[in-house]
Chain A
């Protein structure tokens, strides 16, 4: 802020900064919460689906087979994936992480990603993140309480990201609209409000110029100036009179 900017302008800048900050805070904080809600809701629904798959697989184990021998597991995975577009991939892994069934057949017999199995605790579902893919895991418990493996459901957030982006854009638009109205109104308002004070300063400044016309706002200043000026002028006049009255001989 260099010294020449009017205080009214500084006030406008301050108000503008606060409006921008407030708008960004309100929009940003709300958006973040919304994003969390949406992702939470999505993960919840997928947890329900994964849980169902887990129960179906466990029922299959009851037939008296190992996890790799559950009949119809591959078909079950592919059917479930087709039924829910949000799912990117489904797989069933055994207790050491080897993929037994997978909707993406390339992954069969490979090791499941570490991140996918890292988050499991106890006998409930867990969520994981593997790079850009998000996922839900559900353990498969056999008839004597041992973990025989897990069902992994992965989904990618691209579809949700598109919606989040559109919501973000609409919020940015609303913020910009609000600012577009509020900023000019604020600037104009400030200038109107500060008119009197600015006039006072201007009057002060003008009153101090030599030979200025009388200013009602700066009356007292001008009065003081005038008084001093008059006294000095009178004294000057008297001194000049004295000087002119002096006899010629002193000057010689």
Chain B
């Protein structure tokens, strides 16, 4: 049993425990003190409203209207109540505490003040009555109270902001835990798991008699010590062999010594390896920068269109769609070029180079004065995004051990989704507290941190200048295959159109129209990522078990379409999150089968990698087209109409893809 197997689990468990306890404690004390601080403010509001009511009634009394001659009191109290939203009730009692007139919902347990109650020198008598804060002010005639005006504010008014804060704490906890997991994985992989695996490998070679090994010397911590000692040990053995050889040459009984040497040589081998043992598959270390990068990028997902709309002057929906389209277009255009950069310079250089436009893009977004400069900043960011994600993907592929490429790609997707979930959620909270521009600034800082991390922790190199096949030819070959064309056009593109048009563009805008706070918008958009993660696993499992990847893709597309048509049957504030959940599940289900189907399709021609690249390109196309299409639909018919159209589009293309599959299956069976 390896010494590190349970390590990550235990460390993670300890971290979860401590983080939850610490953050929970801090939040709990905070929320308790908030309620105490906010209560006097609510009482003050009740007092002020009460004093207005008292002034009016007092004027009547002063003009000679007797207390029981006061008329129209209920109407007046009702106008007072409706003028100030958030009050629970306003009522008038006589000197004995009996209610004379009321407006609003009086609690059943209401009790007026007793006859002997002394009017306070200033302000009101404030009490907590059941579930309301009550402020009572006296009406005076000849210095004695003849009645009291009571204003009540429900304690529940504090509940909404406090609940919001609790939610935000949960989000913070979730994000911190996920980020800790990524960092832990990274650190443990570097300093424990891969070194231990390497040492065991070397051990096996030594046990097999191979004393040519050389351990890498650039590791830190204990692993480095062990590596260095191992190298010393091997050198000592080699020295003994060298001495043996010298002894043999010194002797003149050549063939007998040679026999001795040969016997040793049969069991052991010596020499100095020219190249040090590889550190080992280090897929985890490509995950962390990817996670951080996507996290930084997704901080602004929940408010990009809102910010764009504000910059565009609040009116045009096209203005809001432009930056999103610019981003995805830049990613699409930069992807092939980014591939070149990575291939030539290696992942580390490419990653560092990619962070420069990304950071500049975020800075530009933070400082943008109008929607066009914002769109330009997003385009720059998109170029950086393309380069970094490709670099991480290549790094992962290079590091992955043979036969585990799929699992590594799964790790790639998982890192992206985790980063997206964390970033979206906490970005919304940050934007809510600090504003949009500062949140972009935070993105920039994280990206700068990534550059530092990569510079320090990653090995340079990995590039090559080998020539690669032309782009256009591969494209023609790929699209000539009808199954691939169907997959790209009827499944991949519609999915991304919905992603770009609905999740990234329409959902934040519409959630804001429905009155959700920025933090709540983030939580809802995050649902997409949260639902996608388990759906990816489920989709992959289903696809492997049943072998019917294509059918799953078609069903998922149909599910997505139906999900977007939810507003037909449900109220908006349930239908919208429901549609987000449906989109996440549907797209998660389809993602693994889509990737798995490609090698099967490409089987004959053998260029699965190129096909995958073109699938990605088709997806990007869908993402570029999505936001402007949604903007056009929104401008022409409103949000419900837009969702309906997008839903029908997904449904129709899914059915079309299903038909194509059926046709092919039928055609294949015919000749038989």
Contact = CB atoms under 8 A, between A and B. Distances in A.
Interface of A: 1-7, 10-11, 14-15, 18-19, 21-23, 25-34, 36-38, 41-42, 44-45, 48-49, 52, 83-84, 163, 167, 170-171, 174-175, 177-179, 181-182, 185-186, 189-190, 193-194, 196-202, 204-205, 208-210, 217, 220-221, 223-225, 227-229, 231-232, 235-236, 238-240, 242-243, 245-246, 250-251
Contact of A182 (B21, B263, B432): B21
Contacts of B51: 83
B669 interface: no
A80 B82 CA distance: 23
A230 to B, nearest CB: 10
Contact of A167 (B33, B207, B268): B33
A41 B183 contact: no
Given A48-B84, A205-B225, A235 B161 contact: no
Contacts of A2: 220
Interface in B29-83: 29-31, 33-34, 37-38, 41-42, 44-45, 48-49, 51-52
Nearest to B36: A167
A171 B253 contact: no
B11 interface: yes
B237 A175 contact: no
B19 A19 contact: yes
24 contacts: A6-B221, A10-B187, A14-B184, A15-B15, A15-B180, A18-B19, A30-B27, A38-B38, A41-B42, A42-B41, A49-B48, A83-B122, A178-B21, A178-B22, A197-B192, A199-B3, A201-B222, A201-B223, A210-B236, A217-B3, A235-B263, A236-B243, A236-B247, A245-B253
A144 to B, nearest CB: 24
Interface residues of B, number: 93
Contacts of B402: none
B631 to A, nearest CB: 28
B206 A228 contact: yes
Contacts of A198: 222
B184 A242 contact: no
B161 A52 contact: no
A185 B26 contact: no
B41 A30 contact: no
A239 B261 CA distance: 9
A48 B46 CA distance: 11
Contact of A208 (B19, B232, B432): B232
A202 B22 contact: no
A171 B49 CA distance: 32
Interface stretch (B167-175, B306-314, B392-400): B167-175
A210 B45 CA distance: 82
Interface string B194-235: 001001000100110101000000011111111001101100
B244 A29 contact: no
B278 interface: no
A221 B206 contact: yes
Given A201-B226, A208-B232, 12 more contacts: A4-B221, A7-B223, A18-B19, A25-B172, A33-B164, A38-B41, A190-B11, A194-B11, A197-B7, A232-B264, A242-B253, A243-B247
Contacts of B41: 38, 41-42, 45
A18 B183 contact: yes
B164 A22 contact: no
A189 B251 CA distance: 61
A27 B26 contact: yes
4 shortest interchain CB distances as A-B pairs: A7-B191, A201-B222, A32-B433, A200-B3
A37 B40 CA distance: 13
A15 B18 contact: yes
Nearest to A209: B229
A182 B4 CA distance: 24
Most A CB within 10 A of own CB, among B161, B168, B179, B226: B226
Nearest to A82: B122
B434 interface: yes
A177 B426 CA distance: 25
Most B CB within 10 A of own CB, among A37, A171, A224: A224
B176 interface: yes
A202 B222 contact: yes
Nearest to A19: B22
A245 B236 CA distance: 28
Contacts of A31: 30
A175 B256 CA distance: 78
Nearest to A189: B14
Nearest to A243: B251
B169 A18 contact: no
Given A7-B192, A204-B226, A235 B264 contact: yes
Contacts of B261: 235
Given A45-B44, A174-B29, A228-B268, A235 B14 contact: no
A48 B49 contact: yes
A197 B199 CA distance: 13
B48 A45 contact: yes
A33 B164 CA distance: 9
B442 to A, nearest CB: 11
Contacts of A232: 237, 240-241, 244, 264, 268
Interface in B242-262: 243-244, 247-248, 250-253, 256-257, 260-261
A123 B549 CA distance: 62
B465 interface: no
B668 interface: no
Contact of A174 (B30, B168, B433): B30
B6 to A, nearest CB: 9
B267 interface: yes
A209 B232 CA distance: 9
Given A3-B221, A38-B38, A224-B206, A23 B252 contact: no
Contacts of A4: 220-221
A185 B20 CA distance: 14
Contacts of A1: 220
A103 to B, nearest CB: 18
B25 A178 contact: yes
Nearest to B7: A197
Nearest to A25: B172
A48 B430 CA distance: 31
Contacts of A19: 18-19, 22
A30 B7 contact: no
B22 A23 contact: yes
A84 to B, nearest CB: 8
Contacts of B52: 48, 52
Most B CB within 10 A of own CB, among A25, A240, A250: A25
B14 A193 contact: yes
A245 B252 CA distance: 11
A248 to B, nearest CB: 12
A239 B247 contact: yes
Contacts of A205: 222, 225-226, 229
B23 interface: yes
B3 A196 contact: yes
Interface in B420-438: 426, 429-430, 432-434
